[in-house]
Amino acid sequence: MSTTRITGLTLIDLLARFAPYGGTDIPYLAHHFGRFAATLAEFDGSWDPRRGVRVLDVGAHWLHQSLLWRLAGYGRDRGRSADHL
């Protein structure tokens, strides 16, 4: 099972974070978790946190990644779509 390099979170851990809020699409997250964790690990492996730990959260289908990055210690700036401006 994939884990993120910096947080050690497994798919089961991430699913548990969604459970109190009604859960999430388990097959979707299970299918993509490895890619999400790899993206975070690749970025984090070359990023100096002294440069900041805020990332842009554009929402949409990236809810799973948003939580994963937040649990890894990154803050977020929420993006707004044109109809919200």
Q: Give the pLDDT confidence of 27-50 residue by residue, as tens digits.
A: 999 998 988 888 888 888 888 888
Residue 78 lies in a domain: yes
Residue 15 lies in a domain: yes
Greatest mean pLDDT among 12-21, 39-48, 54-63, 69-78 = 12-21
Burial 22-38 (b: 16+ CB within 10 A, else e): eeeeeeebeebbeebbe
Residue 2 lies in a domain: no
Domain that holds residue 70: 11-84
Map tokens 């937040």 to a residue.
Answer: 70
Residue 16 lies in a domain: yes
Residue 23 lies in a domain: yes
Residue 5 lies in a domain: no
Residue 73 lies in a domain: yes
Q: Give the pLDDT confidence of 1-23 residue by residue, as tens digits.
A: 444 445 677 899 889 989 999 99
To the question of pTM greater than 0.85 for the whole model, the response is no
The structural domain count of the chain equals: 1
Residue 65 lies in a domain: yes
- Say yes or no to pLDDT of 81 above 90: no
